[in-house]
């Protein structure tokens, strides 16, 4: 079982780096956890330029001059949890909706026509409305038309993940939100999500179920981002050891304005975010790194080639929002509202290839030649 | 001329299509490399879509199209992908890659052997990507692989021919062509592999991510040629002792 050290101990580790340790980490092939702590430290800030350079070089080497593009489909705005920072929190009065199968299919096909081949299916955490049966049905309906389907929904049991894998889901993201147990308690006011440990073990269950890829992340703005970065490194390293067949990714959701007017408790600047991305890239050269449309176009364009390997584009965070412009009820406001074509052309301008297909549903079908289900 | 499964190749450099900054750069680099065989990841292309970015720029008359099964974690997945590719016009040539560890992308020897055996029986011309294990190379040859593709070092690492002593054994024993694949990061690395007697090399990352991929492709092509000519001309033996230029020096006492 993965256990996370107490947060103050992580904070202590990222605060005491010496100049020599930082320089060593910068020049090391495998900086390790001590190196990661050094690169996340305040003392490493003056080295941001050198970190960007190393991070970019490693990323090119491992991923080539390519960036994968994808789009999210929001399936439902119902949620059983009361997370202080989220627009979907059960505490917020808003019109809620869950897409019917036909509506979900329609949303997906709009994205298909816009050129998307990789989809991320997202929902609030309401197992009664969006349970594993619902997700399975959607996967079965979409699997033959998309190269890859990922989900970001409530944590599930291992057997449920395995079922979704057979139905065509390739990867699962479960963000811990914060690895700071105290802060976790403070912002998760009610609902099943309040169980820190069950959530912490979710990525292991995803991997144990045979999923191709598992995504982890911390919501930036809740607690000390430097210590969150070190926690992410620990989590990655542990998952790599336990589940060597599973691909790993990290996302960096920075808090966005949302209904409920929650203000970030510990603001994270673009410089901070960049430092975190570069440090994790140097720590794990092979991890896939996401940069979503939460960030502004200017920043996203600037980061092309420096570390992130996956960009979302043309995103709408309201269920039904692609087919219906004024659907309302978004989870948060996006910072980059450009279309796939616009984001792709920005990627190309930087000398990178926006890759729309880097998977094939055929990998997913179990058994010899026969389709499952 | 190099012959693989009855097909002749003038160039001993094989190219890849991944990691390029654009399909156009890929096309120009492949042209500059002079290669006649290119490998394409089946997971990256849409075989049924002629407008697919990669398929659009690849001239199938000019290059032998070598689909690869990158992403497959076991024999079943690789075989499924191979059959699907053939059914949609991908041809029967196949670079078999079975790499269960998404981080190192090292090939699984057991699953690779299993899949090779079955796919050969189904009529595929299988070129398996493999670790540089001499016995495995023989086993793959025995079950009908048309060439073997041992790695020089882990893919994308640019570390060169770290598996040199095993590759030397493979070359000395193999009856099928030996194509050194993966880890070749500089023209000097491919020259080394060719000097050792490799029949061909496959280079992708080092060309795709170079500052100028087109000129780098040219550099690799020249190095392959130089290495091959050196091999064919017979390289001098390596010795730790200085060789006297007059071999009789110091032997004046002999009658
Ligand atoms: S963060 Fe997730 S679980 Fe929490 S309220 Fe929002 S949608 Fe629900």
At B1-46, the pLDDT tens digits run 899 999 999 999 999 988 998 888 999 999 999 999 999 888 888 7
CB proximity list for A88: less than 8 A, separation 6 or greater: A77, A78, A79, A124, A331
Q: What is the mean pLDDT of residues A42-71?
A: 95
Buried-state track B193-212, b at ≥16 Cβ within 10 A, e below 16: bbbbbbbbbbbbbbbbbbee
pLDDT in the model for residue A367 = 43
Pocket test for ligand 1, best of A74, A77, A85, A86 (most atoms within 8 A of CB): A86
Q: Do B158 and A61 touch (CB under 8 A)?
A: yes
- Tokens encoding A321: 């929002």
CATH topology of domain A7-363: TIM Barrel (3.20.20)
Among residues B95, B114, B121, B125, the one annotated as catalytic is B95
Higher pLDDT, B97 or A92: B97
Measured between beta carbons, the chain B residues lying within 8 angstroms of A64 are: 18-20, 205, 208-209
User: What distance in angstroms lies between residue A14's CA and the mean position of ligand 1's atoms?
Assistant: 29
Q: CA dist A253 to A315, B55, B67, Å? A: 14, 36, 37
Q: What ipTM describes this predicted complex?
A: 0.74
Domain ranges (residues) in chain A: 7-363
Long-range contacts of A8-13 (CB under 8 A, 24+ apart): A10/A179, A10/A227, A10/A230, A10/A231, A11/A224, A11/A226, A11/A227, A13/A37, A13/A227, A13/A230
Residue that is written with structure tokens 């880890």 in the block: B183
pLDDT digits 0-9 by tens, A218-243: 999 999 999 999 999 999 999 999 99
pLDDT for residue B111? 97
How many other β-carbons are positioned within 10 Å of the β-carbon of residue A179?
Answer: 26
- Judged by CB atoms closer than 8 Å, whether chains meet at B19 and A66 is answered as yes
| Ligand 1: nearest atom to the Cα of A177 | 1
Across residues B132-159, what is the average pLDDT?
A: 94
Does the CB of B154 have a partner CB in chain A at under 8 Å? no
Decide: residue A89, CB within 10 A, 0-12 exposed, 13-18 middle, 19+ buried.
Answer: buried
Asked about B121 being catalytic, the answer comes back as: no
Comparing A95 with A219, which gets the higher pLDDT?
Answer: A219
On the question of pLDDT at B117 being above 90, the answer is yes
**Chain B environment of A65 (Cβ under 8 Å):** 19-21, 208-209
pLDDT of residue B53: 75
Q: Is A59:A309 a contact under the CB 8 Å cutoff?
A: yes
| C-alpha distance from residue A229 to each of A38, A120, B86, B113 (Å) | 11, 24, 45, 41
Instruction: Tell whether pTM > 0.80.
Output: yes
A304-338 per-residue burial string, b: 16 or more CB within 10 A, e: under 16: bbbbbbbbbbbbbbbbbbbeeeebebbbbebbbeb
Structure tokens at B53: 């970015």
- The pLDDT of residue A5 is above 50: yes
Q: Tell me the CA–centroid distance for residue A29 and ligand 1, in Å.
A: 38
- The answer, for B209 touching chain A at a CB cutoff of 8 Å, is yes
Looking at CA atoms only, how far is residue B130 from chain A in angstroms? 18
Q: What is the mean pLDDT of residues A78-86?
A: 89
C-beta atoms of A357 and B205 within 8 A = no
Find chain A residues with C-beta within 8 A of B156's C-beta. 61-62
Determine the pLDDT at residue B52: 77
**Ligand 1 atom with the shortest distance to the CA of A80:** 8
Chain A to chain B, count of Cβ pairs less than 8 Å apart?
78
Q: Report the pLDDT value the prediction gives residue A272, as an integer from 0 to 100.
A: 95
Distances (CA, A) of A58 to A30, A285, B25, B151: 11, 6, 21, 21
> Who among B20, B43, B209 is closest to A359 (CB)?
B43
A-contacting residues of B 71-130, CB under 8 Å?
A: 71-73, 76-77, 79-81, 83-84, 100-103
């Amino acid at each position: 079982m993965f256990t996370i050290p107490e947060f103050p101990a992580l904070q202590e580790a990222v605060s005491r780096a010496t100049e020599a340790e930082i320089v060593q980490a910068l020049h090391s092939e495998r900086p390790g956890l001590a190196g990661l702590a050094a690169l996340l430290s305040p003392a490493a800030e003056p080295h941001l330029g050198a970190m960007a350079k190393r991070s970019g070089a490693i990323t090119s080497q491992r991923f080539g001059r390519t960036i994968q593009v994808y789009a999210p489909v929001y399936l439902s705005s119902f949620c059983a949890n009361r997370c202080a920072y989220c627009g979907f929190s059960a505490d917020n009065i808003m019109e809620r909706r869950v897409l019917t199968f036909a509506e979900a299919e329609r949303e997906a096909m709009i994205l298909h026509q816009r050129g998307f081949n990789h989809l991320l299916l997202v929902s609030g955490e309401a197992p009664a409305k969006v349970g594993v049966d619902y997700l399975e049905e959607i996967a079965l309906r979409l699997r033959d038309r998309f190269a890859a389907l990922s989900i970001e929904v409530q944590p599930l049991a291992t057997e449920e993940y395995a079922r979704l894998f057979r139905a065509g889901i390739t990867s699962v993201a479960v963000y811990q939100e914060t690895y700071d147990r105290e802060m976790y308690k403070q912002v998760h006011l009610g609902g099943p999500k309040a169980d820190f440990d069950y959530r912490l073990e979710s990525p292991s269950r995803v991997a144990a179920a045979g999923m191709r890829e598992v995504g982890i992340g911390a919501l930036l703005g809740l607690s000390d981002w430097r210590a969150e970065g070190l926690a992410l490194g620990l989590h990655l390293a542990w998952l790599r050891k336990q589940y060597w067949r599973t691909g790993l990714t990290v996302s960096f959701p920075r808090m966005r304005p949302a209904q409920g007017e929650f203000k970030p408790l510990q603001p994270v600047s673009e410089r901070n975010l960049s430092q975190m991305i570069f440090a994790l890239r140097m720590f794990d050269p092979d991890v896939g790194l996401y940069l979503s449309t939460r960030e502004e176009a200017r920043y996203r364009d600037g980061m092309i080639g420096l570390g992130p390997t996956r960009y979302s584009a043309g995103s709408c965070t309201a269920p039904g929002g692609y087919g219906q412009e004024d659907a309302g009820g978004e989870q948060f406001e996006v910072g980059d509202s450009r279309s796939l074509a616009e984001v792709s052309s920005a990627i190309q301008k930087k000398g990178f290839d926006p890759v729309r297909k880097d998977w094939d549903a055929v990998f997913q079908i179990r058994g010899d030649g026969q389709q499952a289900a | 001329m190099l012959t693989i499964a009855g097909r002749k190749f003038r160039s001993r450099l094989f190219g890849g299509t991944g990691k390029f900054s654009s399909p156009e750069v890929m096309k120009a680099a492949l042209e500059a490399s002079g290669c006649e065989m290119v490998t394409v990841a089946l997971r990256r292309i849409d075989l049924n879509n002629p407008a697919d970015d990669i398929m659009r720029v690849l001239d199938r008359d000019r290059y032998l199209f070598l689909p690869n099964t990158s992403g497959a974690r076991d024999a079943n997945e690789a075989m499924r992908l191979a059959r699907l590719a053939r059914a949609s016009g991908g041809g029967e040539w196949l670079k078999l890659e079975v790499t269960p560890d998404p981080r190192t992308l090292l090939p699984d020897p057991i699953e690779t052997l299993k899949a090779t055996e079955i796919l050969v029986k189904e009529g595929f011309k299988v070129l398996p990507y493999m670790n540089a294990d001499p016995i495995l190379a023989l086993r793959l040859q025995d079950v009908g692989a048309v060439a073997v593709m041992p790695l020089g070092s882990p893919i994308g690492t640019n570390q060169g021919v770290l598996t040199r002593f095993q590759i030397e054994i493979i070359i000395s024993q193999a009856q099928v062509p030996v194509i050194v694949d993966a880890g070749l990061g500089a023209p000097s690395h491919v020259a080394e592999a060719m000097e050792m007697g490799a029949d061909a090399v496959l280079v992708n990352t080092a060309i795709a991510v170079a500052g100028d991929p087109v000129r780098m492709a040219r550099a690799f092509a020249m190095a392959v040629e130089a290495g091959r000519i050196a091999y064919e001309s017979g390289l001098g033996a390596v010795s730790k002792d200085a060789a006297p230029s007059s071999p009789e020096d110091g032997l004046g006492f002999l009658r």
